[in-house]
Amino acid sequence: MPRLLVLALTMVLAVVGAAACGSQTVTEAPASSNPTQPRTAEQPTSPPSPSPTPTVAVVGDTLSVTGFTDDAKLAVTVVKVVDPAAGKDTRPEAGERYVAVQFRLHNTGSKTYNDAPDNSAKLIDDQGQRFNSWITETIAGPGFGGTVTIPVGDTALGYITFKVPAESKIAKIQFTMESGFADNTGQWRVP
């Protein structure tokens, strides 16, 4: 085999092996959000009772996901799901439809996030079928446009489009850093 092919195959096997050796976790519980309200003189001084934390994330919730290293972290929010979504310049084949999911990515780590979010997202239907992103634009709104660079503390907002069978009922949305290879996956339920 040519030397370049052997080197490329070795690199792919190393990445897959590293991903397989890690301890994969799925994060479904959003962080507790109990915003502090400013008190006025008329309000009692007792602390407000905390809101119950949902046990599974749904559209609108934010999950914290991590990359390969401790300094790679995102707070990921599934903002909106457009199902079906109309394509800007394309149409799905007969028996298929587009689904567009709007994600907000907030870099909560200590290093710049530089990745292609489209590679990090998946849809899962109620039968357990998994769907990768489909590179097309929809009229739902702007996508991420390929690779995204988010400095620490900054946020990016964009749609990721998927092509799924027309009869599929979307049940879950997943996001995994490092183009889908990190050990921690955020998962949201779709009612």
The CATH number linked to 93 is 2.60.40.1240
Residue 175 within any structural domain of the chain: yes
Number of domains in the chain: 1
pLDDT for the residue 8? 40
Residue 40 within any structural domain of the chain: no
pLDDT for the residue 32? 52
pLDDT for the residue 24? 80
Residue 64 within any structural domain of the chain: yes
Residue 20 within any structural domain of the chain: no
pLDDT for the residue 23? 73
Among residues 11, 27, 5, 52, the alpha carbon closest in space to that of 184 is found at 27
pLDDT for the residue 55? 83
CA gap 55, 180 in Å, rounded: 24
Residue 36 within any structural domain of the chain: no
Residue 92 within any structural domain of the chain: yes
Residue 43 within any structural domain of the chain: no
pLDDT of the chain, 191 residues: tens digit per residue: 454 433 343 344 344 444 445 578 887 778 654 333 333 334 444 444 554 555 889 999 999 999 999 899 999 999 999 999 999 989 999 999 999 999 999 999 999 999 999 999 999 999 999 999 999 889 999 999 899 999 999 999 999 999 999 999 999 999 999 999 999 999 999 98
Q: How far is CA 15 from CA 74, 154, 176, 180, in A?
A: 21, 28, 15, 12
pLDDT for the residue 41? 39
pLDDT for the residue 54? 58
Range of the structural domain that residue 152 is part of: 54-189
Cβ atoms within 10 Å, residue 90: 15
Beta bridge partners of 130: 124
Residue 118 within any structural domain of the chain: yes
